[in-house]
Structure 1
Amino acid sequence: MTATTASADSAARTRALLEASALPRPHRADGATVGVVFAVVLMIVPARLVYRGLSFAITPAESIGLFALLWWLCAHFTSTLGAAKGRTLVRSAVFVHAASLLATYAYATAGPLPRDEVELADHMLVTAFAMIGVVLLVVDGVRGRDRLDLVLKTVAVMGAVLGVIGAVQFLLKFDPTKYMVLPGLRYTQEELFILERNGLSRVAATTGHPIEFAVMCAMILPIALHFAFQARERGAPALRWWVCAGLIGAGMVFSVSRSAFVGLAGAAVVLLAGWPRMRRLLAAGAVLVFLGAVKLVVPGVLGAIIALFTNISNDSSLRWRTMDYAAATTEIGRHPWLGRGLGTWYAPKYLVFDNQYILTTVETGIIGVLAFAGLFAAGIWSALRARRLLADPASRDLGLTLAACLVVPLIGAATFDLRAYAVITGLSFLLVGAAGALLREARAARAASPGGPAARAGEGGLSRAAAPAPPSTTPPPGPAR
């Protein structure tokens, strides 16, 4: 009997040691997994690559967005896919945006439209719902801070990879995207990802245009800085995140775009308003070191960027942006509420509006542009609301960071036609969903906290549902006769 007991104890100890030394089990696939795959494909596959053999152009990232929409629909018919349920502001804003697009599509196709514009309206509606699927996937499918951090860390790392590609394009005048064509894909345009401006190269990395690349870098930079500061404050290795931030900043500089710096200035206002004094000083020092490095490596870039602002009165691109206001006013007057149709105003058939708000008003009307801007406003409000509800400093800083990130496309949409570019659109919608997911987690944490609603319901040792019934005032029945 004693030997048997000793043998069982020995086996139990061996089992415990093996379990302790085993590698951690991988997390089951969930919404965060799909979000990571979407971020990698969106940013690493060149933006002009689409599937071969389809009747309309669709990118690999957009196909993942359509899968995300299907996943979200299935998740809300079951309870086994791990999706969160319940209304949030971001979800409501997404539904309003989707309803406005459907209303515009119905209005536009009910009247006479040229065949080419009908086909473009069909295509744009499909791609728009792919991006809606991304928002819904993240806001309902990414559960927990560690899973949300995984998605955002992937975005930061991919931004650094694009920074490396942009640096190779700028410094070596070599475009590696020519060799990044995957089987089954084709280029929609054969133009290079390197342009020229005032004698300097403007690079786009894998995105569709240098402006898109620049604004995308300005969006991602606060995320890399968030993880760098958090690692430093925890005493964890932070060099990798500082390197990521430096590469993302270099990509923004090498794109030589005014829109990125305007958007980054808006993000900086949000960050500086919420950062502690020591972090502001550290950030200022990091900026000076970065600018000094750029001055040494590429002396003419900073001067060209400064000239974009000092010579703004003589900038032909700015004059081109303002000369089409009369045509926009006329077209908006014809279809003021629902617009002429999503995707139906396109170059070279019509004038190009280098302003997404004007273009959205022309295509989807006043209702559509309010729904579009409201989506970003809902994301910013959700991030700031989460910051207010959360007690953990790292989570509070993430809320501030996401709000700053979403200010960039909100400003950038006024300087170029943002929705015409797939990478910046996909990233913007992904971050809107991240803000909604953070607010959902903040509310769940607050409800479960000692002073939250769940705790208050259980004060006195019993919840309201489990509380004893009050004593009855009805007299007991008399003896049976």
Structure 2
Amino acid sequence: MAIDFRPAGLPSLNGHRPVKVADIDGMFAGPRADGATIACIYIVILLITPAALIVRGLPLSVTPAAIVGMIGLVLWLITQLTTTLGAAKGRNMARSGLFLFFTANLVSYGYGTYHWLPSDELNLADQNLFLLLANLGIGLLVCDGVRGIERLNLVLKAAVAGGAIIGVIGAIQFVTGFDITRYLVLPGLRLSWEDLYVFERGSVRRVAATTAHPIEFGVISAMLLPIAAHYALRAKTLGQPFLRWWACTAMIGAGLMFSVSRSAVLSLVAIGAVLVCGWTWKRRLRALAVLAGFLAVMKVAVPGLLGTFLDLFVNFFTDSSVQYRTHDYGIAIAEIERHLWLGRGTGSWYFPKYQVFDNQYMQTAIDLGLIGTAIYVIMMALGIAAGIWARRLSRDPHVRDLGLTLGGVMLAPIVASATFDLLAFATVTGLMFLLIGACGALLRVARQEARQRQEAQPMQASGPTTPVTR
């Protein structure tokens, strides 16, 4: 989407033909702001602003990133009402998934508010719908407003850079115990809860960087790590500077380790299973060597950290945190049965009043019912399908590899939703919607490439004719 406020044609002042836009392009040289620009601003605010900060003076708890997301939604709506602002239109499976999930929430909101709700639950439902619109806005803006592969690269590289920055913040928190986020409070914002970004798990420190919880930090790192590795490998293939991208990959990987999160490891394993299926044997062996070297460095640099991760899985069935997460499943099932199909109303399950369920599928079934839960999975599955389909359509190695990477990355929220209430955490939710939009944008790029290839084939088939000489 490139919003251009220039008129379609300028009247002549000397009686000659009207001056068209193409005639005056030189007067407006240079790149213009588009959907990628807004998306980059959103990423910086989403990842670097501490999750506890909300905008001061508003009746709802709204983060600065949500404000940018709502701006993105308004811009997307404006561009869809015209044919001259450069926004993509037409069917896209990633966009369909976003609309399906929004529709499920809207129906559930209407169903829940049709009956009486306490004021605190109604306020929470209103806030949840607002935040959903903001996330929908950034997803649609990326899907339909970032049309070229270079602009999509810009968005994803911005996400990688943001992940590296919060990886450094997490490393400082882990090594020193010093919480740098207390100095990131900006004017016009206030804390929605007491900032707590450094936790203890036994004898090992856990950190959240700028996110709300170490689990969220770990899952975000798992989602960004393969994207960072993709750009590092891509830069090396093209003969471009690549050490910066490997440095980002290392910082994101360190952030994942310092989160000490079982969900992050499970998410990364799921992503890796998809990537390995599409990689060559050479890349598989290289990835295995890099992983072994990274773990060796972590074992030497942070003694006991790998043992802690090992204990998370060896003692899985006796872990007190796992037992706490599963002891309330009976309460959840009973509540789901009360509103089986449409749920009790999106966002109306007020956590300070009711039990917290560390399982997004159960929480979605309570809020949206079984229909909404199925649509939640479908939305993420359509993001995966868009990335894989883009890989299938394209012959460009970069697009093919990026499609595989984004398709694999979208498995992370599917896995993590079974281990914690993912949608209750604004940073990972915003990143998930943005990456779904990125899958849709990549699919559009691949379709355009395939269309151009098909148009070129008849021209090549006809070709120049040579006269027959006797």
Query: Structure 1 length as normaliser, TM-score?
Result: 0.89
Q: Partners in 2 of 1:448 and 1:191 — Cα distance?
A: 52
SS in 2 for 1:81: coil
- Give the residue type in structure 2 aligned to 1:369: T
Match of residue 314, structure 1, among 295, 298, 318? 318
- Give the residue type in structure 2 aligned to 1:237: P
Match of 1:5 in 2: none
Deviation at 1:26, TM superposition (A): 3.9
SS in 1 for 2:304: helix
| Worse-superposed segment, 263-272 or 363-372 | 363-372
- The within-5 A match list for 1:218-297 is 218-297=222-301
- The within-5 A match list for 1:167-206 is 167-206=171-210
1:389 aligns with 2:389: no
Q: Partners in 1 of 2:459 and 2:100 — Cα distance?
A: 34
Q: Partners in 1 of 2:93 and 2:152 — Cα distance?
A: 18
Deviation at 1:154, TM superposition (A): 0.4
Does the Cα contact within 8 Å between 1:447 and 1:455 map onto a contact in 2?
no
Does the Cα contact within 8 Å between 2:95 and 2:140 map onto a contact in 1?
yes
SS in 2 for 1:299: coil
Does the Cα contact within 8 Å between 2:89 and 2:144 map onto a contact in 1?
yes
SS in 1 for 2:54: strand
Superposed CA RMSD: 1.6
1:28 aligns with 2:32: yes
Deviation at 1:59, TM superposition (A): 0.3
Change (3 A) 1:172 1:148: same
| CA deviation vs aligned residue, 1:123-142 (integer Å, no higher than 9, x gap) | 00000111011111011000
Q: Partners in 2 of 1:256 and 1:25 — Cα distance?
A: 49
Match of 1:99 in 2: 103
Does the Cα contact within 8 Å between 1:341 and 1:364 map onto a contact in 2?
yes
Q: Partners in 1 of 2:105 and 2:406 — Cα distance?
A: 26
SS in 2 for 1:50: strand
Percent sequence identity over matched residues?
Answer: 50
Match of 1:110 in 2: 114
Deviation at 1:25, TM superposition (A): 5.6
Q: Partners in 2 of 1:139 and 1:393 — Cα distance?
A: 21
**Structure 1: any 5+ residue segments left out of the alignment?**
1-23, 462-481
Q: Partners in 1 of 2:191 and 2:208 — Cα distance?
A: 15
| CA deviation vs aligned residue, 1:277-320 (integer Å, no higher than 9, x gap) | 11111111111111111111110111111110111121111111
Does the Cα contact within 8 Å between 2:358 and 2:421 map onto a contact in 1?
yes
Q: Partners in 1 of 2:153 and 2:257 — Cα distance?
A: 26
Deviation at 1:159, TM superposition (A): 0.5
- Give the residue type in structure 2 aligned to 1:223: I
| CA deviation vs aligned residue, 1:74-120 (integer Å, no higher than 9, x gap) | 00112332210111111111111111111101100000111110010
Q: Partners in 2 of 1:299 and 1:458 — Cα distance?
A: 63
Does the Cα contact within 8 Å between 1:156 and 1:244 map onto a contact in 2?
yes
SS in 1 for 2:291: helix
Deviation at 1:458, TM superposition (A): 10
- Give the residue type in structure 1 aligned to 2:247: V
Does the Cα contact within 8 Å between 2:52 and 2:195 map onto a contact in 1?
no
Q: Partners in 2 of 1:280 and 1:96 — Cα distance?
A: 36
Q: Partners in 2 of 1:68 and 1:191 — Cα distance?
A: 28
Match of 2:4 in 1: none
Q: Which has the larger radius of gyration?
A: 1
Q: Partners in 1 of 2:61 and 2:386 — Cα distance?
A: 34
Match of residue 90, structure 1, among 74, 89, 94? 94
Deviation at 1:191, TM superposition (A): 3.1
Q: Partners in 2 of 1:388 and 1:25 — Cα distance?
A: 36
Does the Cα contact within 8 Å between 1:214 and 1:251 map onto a contact in 2?
yes
- The within-5 A match list for 1:39-54 is 39-54=43-58
| CA deviation vs aligned residue, 1:222-269 (integer Å, no higher than 9, x gap) | 000000111112222211111111000000000111000001000000
| CA deviation vs aligned residue, 1:199-241 (integer Å, no higher than 9, x gap) | 2111000001000000000000000000011111222221111
Match of 1:17 in 2: none
Deviation at 1:453, TM superposition (A): 5.3
Does the Cα contact within 8 Å between 2:120 and 2:350 map onto a contact in 1?
no
Match of 1:74 in 2: 78
- Give the residue type in structure 2 aligned to 1:171: V
Match of 1:446 in 2: 450
Query: Structure 2 length as normaliser, TM-score?
Result: 0.91
1:377 aligns with 2:381: yes
Does the Cα contact within 8 Å between 2:124 and 2:350 map onto a contact in 1?
no
- Give the residue type in structure 2 aligned to 1:311: N
Match of residue 62, structure 2, among 50, 58, 62? 58
Match of 1:465 in 2: none
Q: Partners in 1 of 2:373 and 2:458 — Cα distance?
A: 42
- The within-5 A match list for 1:347-362 is 347-362=351-366
Q: Partners in 1 of 2:224 and 2:248 — Cα distance?
A: 10
Deviation at 1:460, TM superposition (A): 5.5
